[in-house]
Amino acid sequence: MNELWRLSATELAALIRTRRVSATEVAQAALARLEAVNPALNAVVEHRPEQVLAQAAGVDAALARGEALGPLAGVPVTTKVNVDQQGFATTNGLRAQQDWVAQHNSPVVDNLVRGGAVLLGRTNTPAFSYRWFTSNLLHGRTLNPRDPRLTPGGSSGGAGAAVAAGIGALAHGTDIAGSVRYPAYACGVHGLRPSLGRIPAYNASSPERGIGPQLMAASGPLARSVADLRLALQVMSAADARDPWWVPAPLQGPEVPKRVALCLRPDGLATCPEGVAALLDAARRLRDAGWQVEEIDQLPPLREAVELQKRLWIGDGYAAQWAAAQREGDPGALAALAGQRALAERLDANSLPATLTRRATLVREWQLFFERYPVLLLPVSAELPFENDLDLQGEAAYARVWEAQMTQIGLPLMGLPGLTVTTGLVGRTPVGVQLTAARFREDLCLAAGEAIEAGGVPAMPVDPVSA
């Protein structure tokens, strides 16, 4: 049983609950896997083995007493360094925050603990969690276990690399512009960005977030199976009064027709041939599973949503963000902000209320779209996963990256859920597709995702490969 780290969260939870294996055995296997492969990846940047084993021992003791435990009892889960975990620094990839030690857990971490999860370690993120590439001056660079020449994604690049390499059965990530969905795509795993208000958020260690992150950022799980994402969502979405945006929406919505819209090139996005092939294959898999799939050319505004999203994410408070990035001196963060300077300079005192007003119109148009098509199948990115640091290779490369990520940036403006399903490999480069649905209809994304997953996915977990 020394390869327990290979099993899914669902499998591990069942084995532990029925006491066929102990949580301690699972934790020992997870720690051994971490020690074996993390030096080659730098996915986990801090972990405390004695605490991991103590958590697992607590699960075993509770089971021996006959206590009812949560759905993730004994399952090893990593958390991202931009959320509060008691006793650990909430660094967000910054030297400036290496002493911001959390006194309390964030709501999502508390929910994981109450669900029985064993917190295995803290995963890396780019400075300020700005980029689709994961490196910073504090923790260093994270590599993609499938190909170190490729980005592991960002900002939850450590989470994606960890799950793909078998460091934990589940990983916590956050997503304001693809930061769960893109690492899943790049590392060849699955990742769910839930709706606004689904998973509670709050970091007591940090200043209150601006209105853009409040409306658009979400915590979500990365995993090696869609079933594990569903299990993680159940646990992570429990109520917490610290988040005023949390909504007590049911995890299972009303029955709707199994109808999917397929859009290969949303708003003129130049989707690469490999991406188009993956989408067409996913559509075939859905049809084989009894879904009706209709290819369409026109969606509600998505390019406009990207521009509004960038105003709220980067434009609002730009001067303060730029000053903080200069103090940190991180090349990636400085490049990310410098590329949006022109957008920020166009904004004035009326821009924020005008953006929020227009956002309401776009939310309405997308909600009406989902009345006709309950699920939308579209690209995760216009390109296969990028080579490392492509966004630092000049203005044209920067623009290319931001254009390719259009669907990832735009959907959060409306608070919509998004699911990346990995579907295959091009050589050793992962490829996959994205599903979205109306707000709080993660259940539809997951149901369609399972139908696509059933048609085949890349082998996982994997041993890290060398260049």
pLDDT for residue 425 is more than 80: yes
pLDDT of residue 233: 99
CB 118 within 8 A of CB 71: no
Tell me the mean pLDDT in the region 17-35: 98
Tokens at residue 399, please?
């623009």
Tell me the mean pLDDT in the region 172-186: 98
Tokens 């590392």 label which residue?
A: 187
Whole-angstrom Cα distance, residue 385 to residue 133?
10
Q: Rounded to two decimals, what is the model's pTM?
A: 0.98
The pLDDT > 70 percentage for the chain reads 100
**Secondary structure (3-state) at 119:** strand
pLDDT of residue 467: 76
pLDDT of residue 389: 98
Nearest Cα to Cα of residue 178 among 200, 214, 147, 153:
153
pLDDT of residue 2: 76
Average pLDDT score over the chain: 98
Tokens at residue 314, please?
């980067």
Whole-angstrom Cα distance, residue 15 to residue 22?
8
pLDDT of residue 271: 98
pLDDT of residue 349: 94
Tokens at residue 143, please?
């590599």
Which residues have C-beta within 8 Å of that of residue 414, sequence separation ≥ 6? 305, 359, 362, 363, 366, 439
> Angle 23-41/157-164 helices, nearest 10 degrees?
120
pLDDT for residue 1 is more than 60: no
Looking at residue 348, its amino acid is: D
- Chain-centroid distance of CA 259 in Å reads 25
pLDDT of residue 224: 98
Say if strands 135-136 and 118-123 run parallel, antiparallel, or are unpaired.
Answer: unpaired
> Angle 351-372/303-310 helices, nearest 10 degrees?
140
| Digit-coded pLDDT (tens) for 251-274 | 999 999 999 999 999 999 999 999
User: Could you tell me where the DSSP H helices lie in 42-175?
Assistant: 49-64, 107-114, 157-164
CB 296 within 8 A of CB 261: yes
Whole-angstrom Cα distance, residue 359 to residue 366?
11
Whole-angstrom Cα distance, residue 447 to residue 181?
17
pLDDT of residue 97: 98
Nearest Cα to Cα of residue 436 among 366, 383, 384:
366
| Digit-coded pLDDT (tens) for 230-244 | 999 999 999 999 999
| Digit-coded pLDDT (tens) for 339-375 | 999 999 999 999 999 999 999 999 999 999 999 999 9
Which residues have C-beta within 8 Å of that of residue 225, sequence separation ≥ 6? 8, 9, 10, 190, 453
2 or 58, which is more confident?
A: 58
Whole-angstrom Cα distance, residue 224 to residue 461?
8
| Digit-coded pLDDT (tens) for 148-170 | 999 999 999 999 999 999 999 99
Catalytic residue ranges: 80, 155, 179
Whole-angstrom Cα distance, residue 403 to residue 277?
20
